[in-house]
Structure 1
Amino acid sequence: MNYKQNIDKSHYGRIGDYIKLIDERNKGLRVQQLLGLSISKQFIPSVANIIGTDMENYKIIRKNQFACSTMQVRRDKKMPVALLQEVDEAIISQAYPIFEVKDETKLLPEYLMMWFTRSEFDREACFHAVGGVRGSLEWEDFENMQLPVPHIGKQREIVKEYNVIQNRIALNQQLIQKLEETAQAVYKQWFVEGIDLENLPEGWRVGVLNELCEYSSKRISVSDLNLDDYISTENMLQNKGGVVSANSLPSTGSVTNFDKGNILISNIRPYFKKIWLANFSGGCSNDVLCFVPKPNIPSLYLYQMLEKDNFFEYVMSGSKGTKMPRGDKKWIMNFLTVIPSTELLDRFSTLISTIQHRISLKKQENQKLTELKDLLLSKLATIEN
């Protein structure tokens, strides 16, 4: 694997020349906030069981310092690394190396984090990882990896441009969340609160999911698809985040055909809650379930039902496999639900359609912004001093 590929590396520097390890322990239990490190390169609230644990041995991490994991890089195809910016200090497991930039007049921590965010960085880290399936990255190999180091003014310009995109994405995401909470509140008020299974309103009944929808049986040739209308579990976003453009297409054959208004759910690791209400037609892989609403069922109502946590919990309860659980298609269609009257379903669809349209527009905007952000990251390798 060749990482040079005609790139001028005269202004590149060795990562190890710009960083230093930090090992400050939590003596006296002065710091209480405990963080974990996710594979998506973010700090998260720790879910570790710390009962009986000596918290004095945990490491303190301060603002503008990094935490990383060099374990299992080859297996996960990523090196988890994150820059602390949200709080002034926290503690983290002693298993994670902590490091900081030696001289911020030469290298900005935010610029370095941008470099770590690149998919090309993860590929190189994976290339250097050793030790078989659970290959780890040796610290010396990490330090020997290189990055472009333009003058500090150029770094500030790049970081500023990147942050403008990031902030716009975050703002859109906040609006999406508020709109989704509004739709969920209406759904809950109309179809959940005060509903007694023993005494349902007139025209309502108890049923199962297969009375509301079916799996798509249509096929489409891969030759009729492109990266923008092909959906696989890899380009579906976690936690109901929608979809992004695919990185590749299957080599030959055909895949499941989906239409606008169908609901797609990743059937691998259902706990990731990857779900999308299609706003265009295309094709999806066999690892993605395509739910087609029956003629009298509004797609917006079906989506509101399927995106609930209790549905994903139900899918997990019938899933097969441990390392990579997969939902059971027959089990899923037996999901128990209340089926309201047709008149109420139509009223709900009319009310929610405007909200759903705004959500769709904001998600499309964030998809374009994410592509722009990725383009900016990809150009770091060729940035001039």
Structure 2
Amino acid sequence: MSYKRLGDYIIEKVEFNEGNKYDLLQGVSNNKYFQKAKTNTIGVDLSKYRVAHYNQFVFNRATTRNGDKISIALRKGESCIVSPSYRIFEVKDENVLNPDYLLMWFKRPEFDRYARFKSHGSAHEFFDMEEMCDVELPVPTLEKQKEIVTQYQAVSNKIKINEQICEKLEATAQALYKHWFVDFEFPNENGQAYKSSGGKMVYNQELEKEIPEGWEVGLLSDLITVKYGKDYKHLSKGDIPLYGSGGIMGYVNEVLYNKPSVLIPRKGSLNNILYVKTPFWSVDTMFYTIPKIDNTLIYVFNVLSKMDFNSLNVGSAVPSMTTEYLNSMQILIPENNVLEAFDFELNQLEDYKITINNQNQKLTQLQSLLLSRLARLEG
């Protein structure tokens, strides 16, 4: 297999923002896409920033604090400006090397490892244009490049469509929660909106507002039992999802709890409340919950998801959640028939989301397979 030196196919581009012609400032994620820059540009001379145009690559040469990845992306939108410390290059001849094919090469985990290995410096490490030019890769025929790019983009587009569907399902769930438990327009026994059709409302002193007749105010602990997650370091790899505050961390070979549950972070990103329907293991910096009453979990999940817990600070620089705080939370408790109907409606949405997310997991694996095949292409 013949590998080619990348420097023979690309050319560095150095264009500064003279006259402040461009004002769209972008950063580059280590997940290989452009994003809004975090830099405060008030009072900053934007003429010193570099300009990136369509189909140009931008990368952050500093790798010291970038984990195990290198931040590089292919510009597909309008021209923008980027940090003066970034480097920009473009393909010399797109009839020989397809930019989207090259981006696929950069998305390979093997490239990230290579870039970190080739980074140099003492206090700060850099992977600069010289090192980028020394990258070697297979350059098959343009037709072959376009074929594999088409396959990869088809998978990527399907993943994006699925993500959009999940976002719409989530928006539907939030709207339904508001309609039922904020506006009190849940369907009555005749299928009509409760409040607007004359459903009886009574004043509640604890909440200082009217609530539907028959509803109560209680404690979160009336509906659920809060349990601590457990350490996972003794577990082996498997197919059981392992949850942390950021979501799934990996997969293990044992089950901590095998029924639906609401997962609540104990530290860090406290607002990342999760509703889980399949068997799981949660880490010891998470709480998981066991329902005391049927059909309450998805209601509890929605109540907690609407709250802002990140402002909590119990004597520590890191926001922390406690069982005492959770158990003492006041919560509106609807009648059982309303909870049962809401649980039925929302679980249909959740089941659909699970199906889509499972599909996306398989599609992501297919993406990885396509990327791994690049190394075996004939040059």
Q: TM-score, normalised by structure 1?
A: 0.80
Q: Which residue of structure 2 aligns with residue 81 of structure 1?
A: 72
Counterpart of 2:4 in structure 1: which amino acid? G
Q: Which residue of structure 2 aligns with residue 7 of structure 1?
A: none
The SS at the match of 1:263 is: strand
Q: Which residue of structure 1 aligns with residue 176 of structure 2?
A: 186
Q: Which residue of structure 2 aligns with residue 340 of structure 1?
A: 333
Rounded to whole Å, the distance in 1 between the matches of 2:115 and 2:81 is: 26
Identity between Structure 1 and Structure 2 (%): 32
The SS at the match of 2:238 is: coil
Rounded to whole Å, the distance in 2 between the matches of 1:34 and 1:136 is: 22
1:293–1:302 CA contact under 8 A, matched in 2: no
Rounded to whole Å, the distance in 1 between the matches of 2:119 and 2:69 is: 10
Rounded to whole Å, the distance in 1 between the matches of 2:3 and 2:210 is: 69
Question: Of residues 149, 152, 155 in structure 1, which corresponds to 2:142?
Answer: 152
Write the mapping of 1:55-66 to structure 2, written as runs, cut at 5 A.
Answer: 55-66=46-57
Sort the Cα spacing of 1:219 and 1:287 in 2 relative to 1 into closer, same or farther, 3 A. Answer: closer
Rounded to whole Å, the distance in 2 between the matches of 1:91 and 1:33 is: 6
Question: Of residues 280, 285, 305 in structure 1, which corresponds to 2:283?
Answer: 285
Question: Of residues 29, 32, 44 in structure 2, which corresponds to 1:38?
Answer: 29
Counterpart of 1:338 in structure 2: which amino acid? I
Sort the Cα spacing of 1:349 and 1:19 in 2 relative to 1 into closer, same or farther, 3 A. Answer: same
Deviation at 1:337, TM superposition (A): 5.2
Which of the pair has more CA radius of gyration?
2
1:212–1:297 CA contact under 8 A, matched in 2: no
Counterpart of 2:92 in structure 1: which amino acid? K
Rounded to whole Å, the distance in 2 between the matches of 1:207 and 1:18 is: 68
Rounded to whole Å, the distance in 2 between the matches of 1:209 and 1:75 is: 41
Deviation at 1:158, TM superposition (A): 0.6
Deviation at 1:293, TM superposition (A): 3.5
Deviation at 1:182, TM superposition (A): 0.5
Rounded to whole Å, the distance in 2 between the matches of 1:114 and 1:230 is: 28
What is the aligned length?
357
Q: Which residue of structure 2 aligns with residue 198 of structure 1?
A: 208
Q: Does 1:53 align with 2:44?
A: yes
Q: Which residue of structure 2 aligns with residue 363 of structure 1?
A: 357
Q: Which residue of structure 1 aligns with residue 189 of structure 2?
A: none
Sort the Cα spacing of 1:142 and 1:287 in 2 relative to 1 into closer, same or farther, 3 A. Answer: farther
The SS at the match of 2:73 is: strand
1:218–1:258 CA contact under 8 A, matched in 2: no
Q: Which residue of structure 2 aligns with residue 228 of structure 1?
A: 239
Question: Of residues 184, 207, 213 in structure 1, which corresponds to 2:224?
Answer: 213
Q: Does 1:72 align with 2:63?
A: yes
2:312–2:321 CA contact under 8 A, matched in 1: no
Deviation at 1:162, TM superposition (A): 0.1
Deviation at 1:21, TM superposition (A): 1.7
Deviates more, 1:277-286 or 1:329-338: 329-338
Deviation at 1:105, TM superposition (A): 1.6
Deviates more, 1:296-305 or 1:98-107: 296-305
Rounded to whole Å, the distance in 2 between the matches of 1:29 and 1:169 is: 37
Deviates more, 1:89-98 or 1:297-306: 297-306
Rounded to whole Å, the distance in 1 between the matches of 2:91 and 2:314 is: 45
Q: Could you list the runs of 5+ residues in structure 2 that have no partner in the other structure?
A: 185-202
Q: Does 1:135 align with 2:125?
A: yes
1:111–1:159 CA contact under 8 A, matched in 2: yes
Provide, for residues 292-339 of structure 1, a one-character-per-residue CA deviation record: whole Å limited to 9, x for no partner.
33334522223323444x43xx135438876xx564444762684532
1:26–1:58 CA contact under 8 A, matched in 2: yes
Write the mapping of 1:236-385 to structure 2, written as runs, cut at 5 A.
Answer: 243=248, 246=251, 257-264=256-263, 269-270=268-269, 276-296=274-294, 298-308=296-306, 310-311=307-308, 314-315=309-310, 317-318=312-313, 325=318, 327-330=320-323, 333=326, 336=329, 338-343=331-336, 344-385=338-379
Q: Does 1:113 align with 2:123?
A: no
Deviation at 1:353, TM superposition (A): 1.8
Sort the Cα spacing of 1:227 and 1:135 in 2 relative to 1 into closer, same or farther, 3 A. Answer: farther
Deviates more, 1:60-69 or 1:291-300: 291-300
Q: Does 1:98 align with 2:108?
A: no
Counterpart of 2:209 in structure 1: which amino acid? N
1:72–1:136 CA contact under 8 A, matched in 2: yes
Sort the Cα spacing of 1:342 and 1:18 in 2 relative to 1 into closer, same or farther, 3 A. Answer: farther
Sort the Cα spacing of 1:135 and 1:356 in 2 relative to 1 into closer, same or farther, 3 A. Answer: same
Deviation at 1:167, TM superposition (A): 0.7
Rounded to whole Å, the distance in 1 between the matches of 2:17 and 2:27 is: 16
Counterpart of 2:22 in structure 1: which amino acid? V
CA RMSD, 1 decimal? 3.3
1:74–1:133 CA contact under 8 A, matched in 2: no
Deviates more, 1:147-156 or 1:35-44: 35-44
Deviation at 1:131, TM superposition (A): 4.1
Q: Does 1:172 align with 2:162?
A: yes
Deviates more, 1:224-233 or 1:92-101: 224-233
Counterpart of 2:350 in structure 1: which amino acid? Q
- Report the structure, 1 or 2, having the larger helix content: 1
Deviation at 1:118, TM superposition (A): 1.5
Deviation at 1:159, TM superposition (A): 0.2
Sort the Cα spacing of 1:347 and 1:372 in 2 relative to 1 into closer, same or farther, 3 A. Answer: same
